[in-house]
Every structure is written in C-alpha cells, then in structure tokens.
Structure 1
Amino acid sequence: MNPVEPTLLEWKNCIQAALQFKEKRCWTWITDEMIFGVQNPEDGQIGYCCVMGTSDEMAALSIHLGSEGLEGLQRIRREDLLAEEFMHIQYGLILSFESKELLEEQEITLMNLLGWQGGRQGWPCLRYFEPGFVPWFLNGAQVRFMTIALQQVIEIAESFRFRPERIRQAGSSYYLVRTPLLQNGRLIWTDRWLEPKPVVRTPLRAVRFDELRLRKLQKSLPKRLGVWELDYFYSPIPMRGKDKPYYPKMCLILDHTSGQILLNHLAETADDRSEFVEQWLEMMLRLQGRPYTLLVQRSEVMDCFGAAARVLNVRMERSPQLLYLEEVKMNLYDELAPF
C-alpha cells in the first residue's frame, strides 16, 4: 500500500465512519463468526471483516487482508495460541475503542484537531498488524480502505439485520463480498459470493553452509552430548526499524535433560536461518561435542537445520512439546514483552 501519511480530511472521514459503526451497534445481531469481505477499490484486495463486541466498550472491527489475513484468522479460531503467536499471525487492520490513556500522544493530538470531545472511554484506535512488526499507525491508503470498509460493514449489517445467518453459509468455502464498480465517477457496490484465492507463500531463504566444513566438524567432534531442544521465534523485544519497529527472530537451544540454556541468540541479519545454523555450529565447537538428537516442534525448524544435521549425523525428531524450552520462552515473554 501507499506509505503516504493520511490527510486530515481522510482521518476525519475515517473517524466519522468509525463512530457511525459504533453507533449502529451491529455487533448486537452480527456475531464474530459471520465473516464477510469488502474489496478495496484501489488495489482489488479483499479485506475479510469480523465484527466483534459484547458492549459499547468492547466494540471492534478487524479487517483481515487477502487470503493470508483470512488464513491467520482461521488459525486464531482453531488453534490454542500463546499471546505472542496471536500477534504474529495477524495481517490486517483493526479498529477498537480504548480509554484515552492507551492512545499515543499523536493520536490524541489528531482527535483534538478533529474536534473530538470524547470522554475517557471509547476513543477510536486504529492499527495495522503485520507478522514480525509492532502494530503500527495506518498510512493514507489504509485509512481510505478502513473508511470504505466501515461504510460497507454498516451497509451489510443493515441489509441482513433480520436475517444475519445468511451472511455466512455454513460449510461453504465461499464468502459474501461487497465489490465495487466505477460508473460515471461513482462507486456502485454489489454483493457477490467469492472463494478466497490460494495463499501465495513467500519462499524461505535457502540455508547456506559449507558442507566440507561440516564434514570436518563431524570428524573433529566425536563426543556426544545427549538430546537438545531447539526452536526459533520472534523475540519479545522490538527493535527500531527503517519505517517501524520490528521483532527480530531469536534462537534457543536447551539441554533436554537438565534444562540448561546452551544457546540464546538474537538474529543480527536478514538471513536469520543461516545465521542460526552458523551459531549452532559455533556452539558445538565451544562445547567440543554434538548431540545425538535435536528435538523440534515445527516443520520450519526441521527444514532449517535438517540438511546440516544430516551431514553431522545428528538425528532430528519432531516433538509435540519442548518442556524446558517452552518454559524459558514463556518467562522471556512474561518479563520482557510489551503486551
């Protein structure tokens, strides 16, 4: 999307639409199971909308961007996720209504410029969620789409007020989508039933390592050091990025018997997968030994370390739980996470 900042008029239109959404109280007849789409007239992307709320204070709207965003929403619904996992699989725009104390100073300044005279509760809060990044302020294109989506959510809510169950067909892979057509300089909106496009996944970087070096390492490290637990994940501490703060990846390796932390490394480069394998090799050199087995939970980690592990004659196994590693990870997030 266009990174240009929203104009004051764009913000005014968006905040007005947000307040209209709240006034309609459509969450009283539309549940968060009734997902429907709104197509962005600027780029054609579909935002899958989820109306949430049990009261005026708890009202919210999440707009999950494209098939990737919809897949993230589906994972949230079917999986028992930790707080940090919940944040890093969301891809979309979220409107909520918060107390004034939870807003940033620039948001309060904006609302004052717009003449907002709200009380302590119910201040519109708009955020862009992207995996790996701190939830951030909306840019101009995102504000425009949020405005349009809010208007169309209200339209759908009114159209289906007395038959909301028709918004979502049980068992169907098709979604109701509001689609725009430009006629005589005006947008005409129609309802269509569309199947989401397949998710296009960005290929992961190939892990780089020197196979000859690994074969020499295997011969020079005959000592076996038991079973290790291994995982990498987003760090709980954000770092300053070019446009907005981001969460670098962190790699942990623990001894499966004692729980001792053998490696705790924060990625310093964009090629974090190769960096983690290199750190693992350096760690084995320091310890003068290699494990019999590496226990991992996720296929992504298996793919990252698998080729190097085979050369080193280290077995890799999938495990449903990594008890010591999960405990350390939980403690890290409890102590350091800003959410």
Structure 2
Amino acid sequence: MNELKLYQFAKKFNNLRPWKWLFSTDIFALKMPKYQDIYFCSVLGNKEKELGLTIYKGIPGLVNLIDTFVKGYENYNEFLLCQQGFAVYFNDKSDLPKEDYDYAFTSGECFEDEKLWPAFRVYKPGFYPVRPNDNDLSLIADILSYATDFIVDLKQYNVSDESFFEQNICYLREINKDNSYVDKSMVIEDMLKDYQRILKVPVAYDELSLARLKRNTKKLNQVWEISYFYYPYPVEQDGLIFYPINLLMVDTESQRVVAQHMCSPLKFAESFQKFILSHFNQNIAMPTEMVTDNEDLFCYIESMYKGLAIKLTLVDKLFLIPHIKKQFTEMLEKQNNN
C-alpha cells in the first residue's frame, strides 16, 4: 500500500471542492481495469454536514446508495448502521481523530497548509466504522485518482436543476488498461431491473430436532411480534467494535415482552435461530402465529417456523416493538447523558 499516493490523490480530490457543484444524488460510477466490479460514488458536502466521497461496490452497492436517498431512517445512527461501503471524509485539522492525523502526518504528503485533512472509513452493517485495510485503501486510492479527473468532466453534464438520480441517470466512466476511457450515460432503472438480492440463510438446527420440539411443545393460541434493532451504542469485544443486535418477541394480547436476546452482528442469524428454539424448549410452549416487519428476519426463520407449524407473516408495520424500541432508546440516552 503506497500511503503517499493515497494521500496525494485525497489532497487533489479535496482541492477540487466538488461538493460546490455536485450533490450526493449526482451518482457517478467507475469501471477500472484492475477490478471486476463497477464502483458507484457520491460526493458529500453540498447539503450534508460531512465533506467527502462515499463508495459502493457493484449493483448491491448501488441499491444501498439509493436506499440512503429514499428510505426514512429514524436517526443518523440508524442510517450509518445500514451502510456497506467506503468513505473518504475531509475534516478540519482540529476535529480529526488522532489516529487519522498521525496517518496523514506520516504519509509524506504535506498537509500543514491545508484546512481539511482526509480520513478513510469502511462501513459494514452493525459494525463501528474503522480505517480500511491496506487492500481496501489501495482500491480507494485508485478510485480517487480516476474520480478526480471524471468529476471535472461531470461539470458539463450537470446542467439540469435536477440531480442525476432525479433524472434516472448515472454517468459511468470505463477505463481501459492504457488509461483511455469511454463515458456512458446509464439509465438507473435499467441497471437495476435484473438485480435480485441474494440473502444467505444459515441453518443452525436439524429437521429431527424441529420434529421433536413440535411434538413435545404446547401450542399457545397467541400471536407474537418478532423483530430486531441495533443497540444504539457500540461495544468492544475480541478486538471488534460493534453495535449489538437486540431481538424481541412480544405477545400482542398482553403486550408483554416474552423474550429478548442480544448478540453480536457476527453470525446473528444462527444466534437468533438457536435462541428461539431454546426459548420454546425451555418454556415447553410456542405461539400459533408470529408477525414480523423485517424481511431479512422473515427469511432467516421462515423454514424453521414451517417445521414447527408456526404461521409466520411479513407485515409492513408492527405496533408494539417500535414503541418498546423507542422507550428503550430514550432510557439509554437518558442514562448516557447523566
């Protein structure tokens, strides 16, 4: 990893001040010769507090980027917890974390006369953003080097009052090995039309254990809500900094929290499956029906619930768990402020 090149490219990008003419919704993309995937980029700073560049990999990344425009997140923290990509931020020197200051200071590139210094982050759902590894930093350096030239040329396309996203357009630069390139205007809907999200569903149980549990467990004529949300404050464990995931099951009639389980984002689907089965086994009872508003959770437990003959329904909105989550978050914030 060439630290000097990385910081030189970051400085050159920053000196352009691209946020003066590009919005975060002006999506552009790069197809580089060293990499198989297309990388989608968004400039921060025109309306956002942060100045910088966000980077998303492939069509799944484009979907993630578009979600940041159209989804209604309850707060900034929830928004960050759903991100999967990279970011280059430019911060006032006095606001820069010491680690980032040290990296920039020892890179060999002079920033002493610069007001804004760069910091690099990798985002993964549920994990606290940290500095990327060397391979990812090399990728970011390449993107910065190509993006700087492309952004200058994007000025000629930025003539409408509408952003590229509002026009359903993404400008793509395909770079060849000899550094020649071709610019294309891509229709975003066309890029997404064949995309199918693939969710890997782990299995932490076997059919025999499900059959045994079904046979030996009483069915309650009850409907439970089930969903999960991130704990709002990070914790550190085994060198990883993450936001724990909190799984809740709530009886809709009594409005009582039946069970609660908190775990790491690592292999959380398996952890959920094991906890649910353990809860049913210990209480020798399970409901006849459960409802969830979380599509991923539905996929993680659907097959397991079929084996237990529990009706599982995916709904647009739950009534109890969001209220419990709000109370829980407010309580933690109050404790944290005291």
Alignment pair present for 1:313 and 2:309: yes
Aligned to 2:51: 59
Over 3 Å counting, the alpha-carbon distance change for 1:37 and 1:330 in structure 2 is same
- Cα shift readout 1:133-183 (whole Å, capped 9, x = no counterpart): 3212123333333333334333233224354148948655x6322222223
Q: Would you say the 8 A contact 1:69–1:90 is kept in 2?
A: no
CA distance in 1, matches of 2:265, 2:87: 30
Greater fraction strand: 2
> Any idea what SS the aligned residue of 2:89 has?
strand
Alignment root-mean-square deviation, CA: 3.5
Q: Which TM-score applies when normalising by structure 2?
A: 0.79
Partner Cα separation in structure 2 for residue 95 and residue 276 of structure 1? 34
Aligned counterparts of 1:64 and 1:124: Cα–Cα separation in 2: 19
Q: Which runs of 5+ in 2 are unaligned?
A: none
State how many pairs are aligned.
323
Q: What does the per-residue CA deviation read over 1:218-269, in whole Å, with 9 as the maximum and x for residues that have no partner?
A: 4443352622111235554444457x54455442212223443222223479
TM-score normalised over the length of structure 1? 0.78
1:180 paired residue among 175, 182, 193: 175
2:249 aligned with 1:256 = no
Gaps of 5+ in 1: 1-5
**Structure 2 contact 26–170 (Cα < 8 Å) conserved:** no
Task: State whether residues 253 and 264 of structure 1, in contact with CA within 8 Å, keep that contact through their aligned partners in structure 2.
Answer: yes
Name the SS for the 2:323 alignment partner.
helix
Among 137, 141, 146, the alignment partner of 1:143 is 137
SS of residue matched to 2:218: coil
2:282 corresponds, among 271, 276, 286, to 286
Matches within 5 A, 1:188-267: 188-193=180-185, 196=191, 199=195, 201-222=197-218, 224=220, 226-236=222-232, 237-240=234-237, 244-247=240-243, 249-267=245-263
Q: Which residue of 1 aligns with 2:86?
A: 93
Residue pair 1:25, 1:56 contacting (<8 A) in 2 also = no
- Residue 34 of structure 2: aligned partner: 42
Aligned-pair identity in percent equals: 20
State the shift of 1:108 in Å.
1.6
Q: Distance in 1 between matches of 2:170 and 2:264?
A: 42
**Residue among 276, 290, 293 paired with 1:297:** 293
1: distance between equivalents of 2:35 and 2:289?
48
Secondary structure of 2:130's counterpart equals coil
Please, which moves more after superposition, 210-219 or 316-325? Answer: 210-219
With over 3 angstroms needed to count, the CA separation of the structure-2 counterparts of 1:40 and 1:199, relative to structure 1, is farther
State how far apart, in whole Å, the 1-side matches of 2:212 and 2:51 are: 61
Q: CA deviation at 1:107?
A: 1.4
Distance 1:87-1:226 versus aligned 2 partners, 3 A rule: same
Tell me: CA distance 1:105–1:325, structure 2 relative to 1, closer, same or farther (3 Å): same
Closer, same or farther in 2 for the Cα pair 1:216/1:13, shift >3 Å? closer
Residue 112 (structure 1) aligns with: 105
Paired position in structure 1 for 2:146? 152
